[in-house]
Amino acid sequence: MADGAVTVPDRLYDAYLFDQDGTIYLGDDLLPGAKVLVEELRARGKVVRFLSNNPTKDPQQYADKLARLGIPTPTEEIVNTTVTMTRWLLDNAPDAVVYPISEAPLKRSFEAAGIKMSEDPAEIDIVVASYDRGFRYEKLQIAFDAIWFHKRARLVATNPDRFCPFPGGRGEPDCAAITAAIEACTDTTCEANLGKPNPAMLHAALAGVDIELRNCVMVGDRLSTDIRMGLETGMAAALVLTGETTAEDLATIAPENTPDIVVDRIDRLLPPDVWQELGWSESERG
């Protein structure tokens, strides 16, 4: 990696918002330094939250995963797009009949919130596109009929991600592919996208917390979602080079898209003086 890409922070922040996949863990493996970093931040009274654009799990499933990896976390400190999409519907279209193209967690969240769901195109008001590994032609037909034939449904989406990164450089098509399929056949445009960089995620994560955004840092591995949300909301934006983005990618991006902080491992989010105070050394930490 080009050393020139790394910009370590010179301060601690009051709140740390972490993306999960590619940032805290990759697949089922914790990334180096993640556990000690979170423990140290919590010991110092910092607000720690975990975010994800992925709607195929609910916050409890993320809590179970984090606990399994040694970072036990209350579900209230985890926000993903099942939470932001549900909240958006309750705030913007509480009486709408919704057709989620999704896996079970999003439907469970809608059900728990009392949101009415239907597969009948003649009564669907909102089609919700999401990351759905059970996507098939019949679902596209229902969305098409509700939006194009009955001319009644609007289209919204849980998240803008093109693919979900997997270990070894592989990945899986994500919500953007399903949104694009519906847009292509209906000639409509998705009206709202409830994942990062939409600040809905940030507002849900920091609800009830009184901290100025300039004292918060958004930490993630993806420029178009994590870093964009940080930069657009006035938080510090910290990129970790353990997921999607490489040091080479950074060399070609516009100055206005450049993260404030770039680290090659996540525990470097603690500034050098804190490393010194903790007695951590480069050689010990590998």
Residues 6+ apart with CB under 8 A from 182: 101, 127, 129, 140, 143, 144, 147, 155, 188, 190
The strand pairing partners of 99, in sequence order, are 127
User: What single-letter amino acid sits at 33?
Assistant: G
Residue from 89, 99, 102, 90 nearest 150 by CA: 99
Could you tell me the smallest distance in angstroms from the CB atom of residue 213 to Mg ion?
21
Query: Can residue 58 be called a binding residue for Mg ion (CB under 5 A)?
Result: no
**Which of 19, 132, 145, 267 forms a contact with Mg ion (CB under 5 A)?**
19
Structure tokens at 209: 């917390």
Could you tell me the smallest distance in angstroms from the CB atom of residue 165 to Mg ion?
7
Site for Mg ion in 70-89 (CB under 5 A): none
**Which of 9, 22, 121, 259 forms a contact with Mg ion (CB under 5 A)?**
22
Could you tell me the smallest distance in angstroms from the CB atom of residue 51 to Mg ion?
9
> Which one, 54 or 102, has the nearer CB to Mg ion?
54
Could you tell me the smallest distance in angstroms from the CB atom of residue 54 to Mg ion?
9
> Which one, 132 or 174, has the nearer CB to Mg ion?
174
In whole angstroms, give the CA distance from residue 165 to residue 173: 9
Distances (CA, A) of 96 to 91, 127, 155, 193: 11, 10, 12, 17
In whole angstroms, give the CA distance from residue 208 to residue 225: 24
In whole angstroms, give the CA distance from residue 172 to residue 194: 20
Residues 6+ apart with CB under 8 A from 44: 12
**For Mg ion, what does the binding mask look like between residues 169 and 208, x meaning CB under 5 A?**
----------------------------------------
**Which of 221, 229, 240, 250 forms a contact with Mg ion (CB under 5 A)?**
221
In whole angstroms, give the CA distance from residue 101 to residue 147: 14
Q: Which residue is nearest to Mg ion (CB)?
A: 22
Count, residues in the chain: 286
Choices 4-12, 36-44, 217-225, 259-267; region in contact with Mg ion by CB under 5 A:
217-225
Size of the residue set binding Mg ion (CB under 5 A): 5
**For Mg ion, what does the binding mask look like between residues 222 and 261, x meaning CB under 5 A?**
---------------------x------------------
Residue from 106, 112, 91, 99 nearest 139 by CA: 99
> Which one, 13 or 25, has the nearer CB to Mg ion?
25
How far is residue 127 CA from its own chain's centroid? 21
**Which of 5, 9, 13, 21 forms a contact with Mg ion (CB under 5 A)?**
21
Could you tell me the smallest distance in angstroms from the CB atom of residue 81 to Mg ion?
13
> Which one, 145 or 221, has the nearer CB to Mg ion?
221
> Which one, 54 or 186, has the nearer CB to Mg ion?
54
Could you tell me the smallest distance in angstroms from the CB atom of residue 101 to Mg ion?
22
Structure tokens at 57: 């799990």
Could you tell me the smallest distance in angstroms from the CB atom of residue 49 to Mg ion?
14
Give me the residues that bind Mg ion (CB under 5 A), please: 19, 21-22, 221, 243
